[in-house]
């Protein structure tokens, strides 16, 4: 493990306050971060520390439930609900051959659509109602409020992404108006030093346009540099860690990076993590933006859609769902 280089810290305060020139400054910092390193911190982001603390508290409450209560809301084909310990194996990793299941458990929440929403009634893929645990007062309200705050934060960052790509500041406003998101509330038990290929979560890149990882006092997250070195992401008080994923590569024609990362909990105690994965609205075609293509830079990826991409990812990753599909076919 190498010592951490200077991880960029982008102060969103001036931009959110409407200061003159703040957009251009933040966009230049973002462009450097996502072309040279692939991850960065944000501070003065407007999410109150109490809201973050409350979300962590609810994550710990859920994971403290008996297994049978958690399995009552186990993950479904829409990728919402409880993923049990060692329930996924990151076979989709492009940075390591992964054969061992991840040593974590997680609970996934999407946009909280009402039961009578047309997409819910139609059982549209990845547009379902959430699977909330029963008899856990305050859990749903706290987590929905946290997701609402992070959605607003992502939308406030979209003009910075647009400007960093040489696009009009409003370019992503419509694509990210009713964005797809998932909050993953993960519990990593302490791991003793064991096999080299056993992780809390194995080396991988996210699928998302961007991922917000909540401030965390318990270390364990590490990123791989472009040179191939693994570095710890040291905690920065009240700072979110931000990185891009595979769909960001498609939006930017590989101009911005999707950063490989992993997590191992060696703290001696429990570690919880809150990762918010965000993408455009479900019907928006995902293709390279105009400033990243040209006569000498053809698109590297075909146009795709969130649903098609995530179906393939889910099939290869979630062991529990794969086992159920196999049993249903027999």
pLDDT of 293-312, one tens digit each? 999 999 999 999 999 999 98
What is the Cα–Cα distance from 62 to 209, expressed in whole angstroms?
Answer: 28
What is the Cα–Cα distance from 68 to 103, expressed in whole angstroms?
Answer: 19
What is the Cα–Cα distance from 326 to 330, expressed in whole angstroms?
Answer: 7
Specify the number of domains making up the chain: 1
Domain assignment present for residue 1? The answer is no
β partners of residue 186: 106, 273
Range of the domain at 305: 9-329
Q: Which residue has the higher pLDDT, 329 or 285?
A: 285
CB within 8 Å of 169: residues ≥ 6 apart:
23, 159, 162, 163
What is the Cα–Cα distance from 283 to 180, expressed in whole angstroms?
Answer: 10
Domain assignment present for residue 187? The answer is yes
Task: Give pLDDT tens digits for 70-112.
Answer: 999 999 999 999 999 988 776 666 666 666 888 899 999 999 9
Domain assignment present for residue 4? The answer is no
What is the Cα–Cα distance from 103 to 105, expressed in whole angstroms?
Answer: 7
What is the Cα–Cα distance from 293 to 257, expressed in whole angstroms?
Answer: 16
pLDDT at res. 98: 64
β partners of residue 277: 182, 211
Domain assignment present for residue 93? The answer is yes
CATH code for position 139: 2.60.120.330
CB within 8 Å of 181: residues ≥ 6 apart:
110, 111, 147, 150, 151, 154, 276, 277, 278, 279
Q: How many CB atoms lie within 10 A of CB 294?
A: 9
Domain assignment present for residue 288? The answer is yes
Phi, psi of 218 (to 5 degrees): -100, 115
Is a pLDDT exceeding 70 seen at residue 124? yes
Task: Give pLDDT tens digits for 162-210.
Answer: 999 999 999 999 999 999 999 999 999 998 866 567 788 888 899 999 9
Q: Which residue has the higher pLDDT, 197 or 38?
A: 38
Is a pLDDT exceeding 60 seen at residue 329? no
Pick from 15-29, 167-181, 215-229: least confident = 215-229
**pTM of the predicted model as reported, rounded to 2 decimal places:** 0.93
CA 67 to chain centre: 25
Domain assignment present for residue 3? The answer is no
């Amino acid at each position: 493990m190498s010592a951490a280089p200077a991880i960029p810290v982008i102060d969103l305060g001036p931009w959110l306050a409407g200061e003159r020139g703040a957009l251009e400054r933040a966009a230049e910092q973002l462009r450097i971060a996502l072309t040279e390193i692939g991850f960065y911190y944000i501070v003065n982001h407007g999410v109150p520390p109490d809201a973050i603390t409350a979300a962590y508290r609810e994550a710990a409450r859920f994971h403290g439930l008996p297994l049978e209560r958690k399995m009552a809301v186990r993950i479904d084909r829409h990728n919402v609900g409880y993923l049990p310990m060692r329930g996924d194996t990151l076979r989709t990793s492009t940075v390591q051959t992964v054969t061992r299941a991840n040593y974590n458990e997680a609970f996934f929440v999407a946009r909280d659509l009402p039961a009578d929403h047309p997409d819910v009634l139609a059982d549209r893929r990845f547009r379902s109602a959430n699977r909330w645990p029963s008899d856990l007062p305050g859990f749903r309200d706290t987590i929905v409020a946290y997701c609402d705050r992070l959605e607003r934060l992502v939308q406030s960052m979209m003009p910075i992404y647009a400007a960093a790509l040489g696009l009009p500041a409003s370019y992503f406003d419509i694509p990210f108006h009713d964005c797809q998101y998932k909050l993953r509330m993960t519990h990593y038990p302490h791991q003793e030093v064991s096999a080299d290929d056993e992780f809390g979560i194995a080396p991988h890149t996210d699928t998302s346009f961007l991922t917000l990882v909540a401030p965390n006092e318990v270390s364990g997250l590490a990123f791989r540099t472009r040179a191939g070195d693994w570095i710890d992401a040291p905690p920065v008080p009240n700072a979110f860690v931000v990185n891009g994923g595979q769909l960001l590569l498609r939006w930017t024609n590989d101009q911005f990076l999707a950063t490989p990362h992993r997590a191992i909990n060696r703290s001696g105690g429990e570690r919880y993590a809150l990762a918010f994965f965000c993408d455009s609205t479900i019907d928006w075609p995902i293709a390279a933006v105009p400033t990243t293509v040209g006569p000498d830079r053809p698109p590297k990826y075909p146009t795709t859609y969130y649903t098609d991409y995530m179906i393939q990812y889910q099939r290869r990753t979630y062991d529990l769902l794969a086992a159920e599909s196999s049993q249903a076919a027999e």
